[in-house]
């Protein structure tokens, strides 16, 4: 069995590495990934995918990346369940195992 995902998209916000009680660092943000086909209105839609980064990956991404930068993310999909108002809710996210910094907005503007 295999659970692996590869994404290439733009950061929708500045990454922020938060230190948790146990000393681990965590960063959560969305990556905007445009679809490769047009919808019935002739427009490209975009998916906003929640990504979670831990420890060293979270720290380096927060240090070097900003909103609008293009990143490549390799990781796995994780689905978590929780109770809210006596109803079971689910959240799907990508747990990043590797992040590649492909370009940054500042670099694109100078070119």
Contact indicator for 103, 70 with CB cutoff of 8 Å: yes
Residue 72 lies in a domain: yes
Residue 65 lies in a domain: yes
* Full residue range of the structural domain in which residue 28 is found: 5-35+45-110
pLDDT, tens digit (0-9, with 9 covering 90-100), for 75-88: 999 999 999 899 99
SS3 42: coil
* Number of domains the chain is built from: 1
61: which residues sit within 8 A by CB, 6+ positions away?
Answer: 15, 17, 27, 53, 71, 99, 101
- Burial (CB < 10 A; 0-12, 13-18, 19+), residue 72, is middle
Q: Is the pLDDT of residue 110 over 70?
A: no
Residue 40 lies in a domain: no
What confidence tier does 107 reach under pLDDT thresholds 50, 70, 90? low
Residue 90 lies in a domain: yes
Distances 74 to 49, 83, 87, 89, 108 between C-alpha atoms, Å: 13, 29, 32, 26, 23
**Which pLDDT value is given to residue 103?**
86
Residue 84 lies in a domain: yes
Euclidean distance between CA atoms 70 and 103, whole angstroms: 5
Q: Which residues of 11-49 are buried (b: 16+ CB within 10 A; e: fewer)?
A: beeebebeeeeeeebebebbbeeeeeeeeeeeeeeeeeb
Residue 88 lies in a domain: yes
Its pTM stands at 0.85
The domain spanning residue 54 has which CATH number?
A: 2.40.50.140
């Amino acid at each position: 069995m295999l659970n692996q995902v590869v994404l290439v998209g733009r950061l929708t916000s500045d990454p922020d590495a938060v230190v948790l009680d146990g000393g681990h660092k965590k960063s959560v943000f969305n990556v905007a990934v445009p679809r490769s086909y047009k919808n019935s209105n002739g427009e490209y839609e975009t998916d906003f995918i929640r990504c979670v980064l831990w420890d060293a990956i979270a720290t380096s991404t927060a240090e070097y990346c900003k909103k609008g930068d293009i990143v490549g993310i390799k990781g796995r999909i994780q689905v978590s369940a929780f109770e809210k108002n006596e109803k079971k809710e689910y959240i799907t996210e990508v747990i990043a195992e590797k992040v590649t910094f492909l370009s940054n907005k500042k670099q694109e503007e100078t070119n």
